Amino acid sequence: MSAVITPRTEALRSAPLDSWIALAQDESRIIATGATYEEVVAKSDEAGVQGPLIVKTPESWLSFSV
């Protein structure tokens, strides 16, 4: 069984590792990236995006199977 690829999955896969990212409310695209939470909040505000989902990406993605 293969995993379902969603817009959120694609956005996360394209995100820089070990950084903060802001996703659009529908989680389909990256609004801002940065080294700190504060930097991403400021960039999101500058882009006029209210209420983005802000997350820290891992240093590397682990692959696993269930």
- Whether residue 41 is contained in a domain is answered as yes
Q: Report DSSP letters for the chain, one per residue.
A: -PPPP-HHHHHHHHSPTTSEEEE-TTSSSEEEEESSHHHHHHHHHHTT--S-EEEEPPSSPPP---
- Whether residue 51 is contained in a domain is answered as yes
Prediction pTM value = 0.80
- Whether residue 6 is contained in a domain is answered as no
- Whether residue 12 is contained in a domain is answered as no
Residue span of the structural domain in which 31 resides: 19-56
d(CA 18, CA 47): 22
Number of domains in the chain: 1
- Whether residue 62 is contained in a domain is answered as no
Q: What is the pLDDT along the chain (66 residues), one digit of tens a residue?
A: 567 788 888 888 889 999 999 999 889 999 999 999 999 999 999 999 988 999 999 998 777 654
